[in-house]
Structure 1
């Protein structure tokens, strides 16, 4: 089983820190799980132009293929201007419509106001519903105040939400695997 965490920004580091923390919590919840972080600031991803996702090359192809090959995913985005980043939206636009179907997905976001958590509910969840993903009921939102001077998460409640998200994702993935096994695949 493989989990991929996507840090959907090309600036800053708080979102990648948060995604990594969830990946670490997943590795404790499911020992032996393969993990990969896609920090999008490390990739030169092309803008979606409507062509077949299989026709993209280089970094764009790697990002698409890595996400499509995952069994579980964490999508993280900072909130800019009350919305997900263009980088995050572009990645969703690049993916084949069936690429996330029946995959367990966790959502995290970072932001500068305490109300920005609503972006997870009002923007990310509907996108994942379109893809027919199994979205964990909980999520993690971290405000800039939740990080210390070294950009480590210092807030105990946020750390607890990370553990809860990992537990929910583990439960959902186990339920889906058991159901798929009963149905013959």
Structure 2
């Protein structure tokens, strides 16, 4: 399929656990083993779109792949649907399903986050906020985060700065300067094709990789969760 940004360097190594056997992106890549050698920075990507595949997921993947092309990392991707249908009915963390708790643990134990949400009625989704309401604030303090969102048109672009950035400011997270917003017109058949948005993806990924590269040591504990995961070698 044409229109997808070319990945530089060596191929990405993908590990797809059996619980969610879907590929990264919309093109297949050769499997090169599932074991990772040595400690790697852990990056969690989270899409709050209620559908899969989705433009939000594609945007999160684009940032993840661009980051992986710059930095060897263990990258795990989740969609809000992975948390199960009971997420919205949970009033406390102990009422969450096991899949939802595993997503929270992955977010809290990651070294960095790539988050994306569709814009509904001028804001991030309710389930996105509901999930992060259960996150331990101390777990995100100082953690690098890339912010992204998708919407029907350009009028929703400021949601990233007016809603997402203040939310992660509350957590004292270190949001990268460049945020990424994609509208319907920026995608073709679910693939990000707009050069301007792809440029922002590249900038955000470079900023995230620089922050992670400056850190001496990844998190000591990172519990594997049932989500798509891939490790990207150095360029």
Normalising by structure 1, report the TM-score: 0.88
Match of 2:199, SS?
Answer: helix
Q: Does 2:213 align with 1:167?
A: no
How far apart, in 1, do the equivalents of 2:69 and 2:116 lie? 20
For residue 155 of structure 1, what is the aligned residue in structure 2? Answer: 194
Structure 1 unaligned residues grouped into runs of 5+: 181-185
For residue 77 of structure 2, what is the aligned residue in structure 1? Answer: 37
More helix by share: 1
Over residues 74-111 of structure 1, what are the superposed CA-to-partner deviations in whole Å (9 max), with x where a residue is unaligned?
11001011010011111111111212111100001000
How far apart, in 2, do the equivalents of 1:35 and 1:77 lie? 18
* Residue 54 to residue 71, structure 1, CA distance change in 2 (3 Å): farther
TM-fit CA distance, 1:134: 0.3
Runs of 4 or more off by more than 4 Å in structure 1? Answer: none
Q: CA RMSD, aligned part only? A: 1.7
Q: Does 2:137 align with 1:137?
A: no
TM-fit CA distance, 1:60: 1.6
Structure 2 unaligned residues grouped into runs of 5+: 1-40, 218-235
For residue 19 of structure 2, what is the aligned residue in structure 1? Answer: none
Find the partner of 2:56 among 4, 15, 27: 15
Counterpart mapping for 1:34-113 below 5 A:
34-44=74-84, 46-47=87-88, 48-49=90-91, 51=92, 53=93, 56-113=96-153
TM-fit CA distance, 1:55: 6.5
Q: Is the 8 A contact 2:178 2:203 kept in 1?
A: yes
Q: Is the 8 A contact 1:9 1:87 kept in 2?
A: no
How far apart, in 2, do the equivalents of 1:133 and 1:42 lie? 24
Match of 1:76, SS?
Answer: strand
- Would you say how many aligned residue pairs link Structure 1 and Structure 2? 174
For residue 183 of structure 1, what is the aligned residue in structure 2? Answer: none
* Residue 146 to residue 20, structure 1, CA distance change in 2 (3 Å): same
For residue 46 of structure 2, what is the aligned residue in structure 1? Answer: 6
Q: Is the 8 A contact 2:144 2:173 kept in 1?
A: yes
Normalising by structure 2, report the TM-score: 0.70
Higher relative contact order (CA 8 A, sep 6+): 2
